[in-house]
Structure 1
């Protein structure tokens, strides 16, 4: 495998898989929100994710699969609390409220703003390297969102669109904070996030008078939440480990295209020139992100941390006996200088001049 293809694996497929699952969940959520209170549905989706992943975690132990992931530590808890509130409670609530007041295809395409928000925060606040190609791609995505909101007399942002944009901002912050947890077991993170955020929103919605849904709707919401949020989140966290927040958010921008296409099929919404133009602009943005190549001579400083790994060029330490790979333990990295294609993963968060 060439260096260029090697550095794309497995981060890019994980990000794209996460995007497909989450994108599929948007029109299905639109379908459910017509029958379930929006706040209750937000809780149901995340609770479905948490319960489903809890069974996955328990089943993994039951059948004797080795756990190669690093556990949560006390220092991770503040970051976990922040992502639960922003990404698990506020973001989904704003999304379902927004979807209840706009079309499924438009709502799905507006979700592209999550990738833009993620990249902007990663670049401005966390100082991840973002080159001109990534900036051009982000500009195309933003232009697509503006075209989608154009009313003929100016940019029209109805209340539903504003709520979805606010959800994207909340998730953009969440994605960057989750980067701090990228070395930890993603199933454990997503399970806690789903259970805590989902049960909290569910209890609040019922306390405020939301009507309990039927068993069929509960089951449907649970399945959509497990796949579209739970499994998608696990893949997203794993991708953060390999790509960093800006690029994972960029690849994740495929999600709205999946959602918009399904929205057209499920709800018979019209294929308007405005929708096509917005989709083309956003597709150009995603292509610019996919075509990026970042390679230069760089220095690895001495580093100690814990995460799942194999003994590749960045992990040349020894063990007292035979080990299976991948495995997780606290390990040290010696200083190193070399050149290869890379993203700002766990081992390449250096600065650029």
Structure 2
């Protein structure tokens, strides 16, 4: 149990955990990872026979990880020490662990949530949305990503080299388990209103953002590739159609400002796709031995000089459009159509920006591949 000034509820949690250990006839200990309590939490824990370790580095994740490393057991059950989790019903977790699962998550939505036990925003927005994104990004069949009651194989979790210091530790444990093909499942558990007399340590918006940030950082397809392809294709198709003639969407005709936004989508989408390939190469540099990833690496790295030349040709093509169509600065004919002028200028900008991006990114890849 991570602990930071939990004197109001810690004793009840320890006694309930001890009762479960006795009921299930387990060979187990109760470990408190204290994160700098200034109240009577440590005294209470030691008086009830729990082992206490002091964790100097602040943060929920730091406290939990220190507790995991200090544990002496094959399996670990972790839960908050605010008396909100059901320590009397640990049998489903133990059974799943003994069946060979590496990680077992409690599902509070299936087990039941007591009135006022979970804030409205957490229950109907934050948790469902983040859990949905976790399932979407990582194909994990978990509906309650942020349940604090969970069991796991100690050795398996330590092999993940978890590193987040805060509340996002809960997401990191699940995501990295999925990325390493661990057996992950969930069991129903009930959530009760906590017994604290103070505000919880969880900060709704800050910690929610940190969870989302972590999910995106470990899903480059959803962060870079899919948005990049969407922007690029919408911009390219719409802009290409506008070059042929007026483009009508419903009752709307695309005007000057629309061409600027479309060219912006094309450029941003292209750069986002390049970022995705950078993320793949980073995995290779980090020691990922996936055969497809290795093949992609060699295809790209061994042909960088070709990509530089390609970038130069595209850049010169953009300059050619600018110079040879009467749109070079200072040479614009007074009779030229304004819309046609803008289309030509934007076409030149798109080509020159593509060329520059390809050239610079190719050299950059060459530099990092020589490290």
Q: Which has the higher contact order (CA 8 A, sep 6+)?
A: 1
TM-score, structure 2 as length reference: 0.20
Higher helix share: 1
Higher alpha-carbon Rg: 2
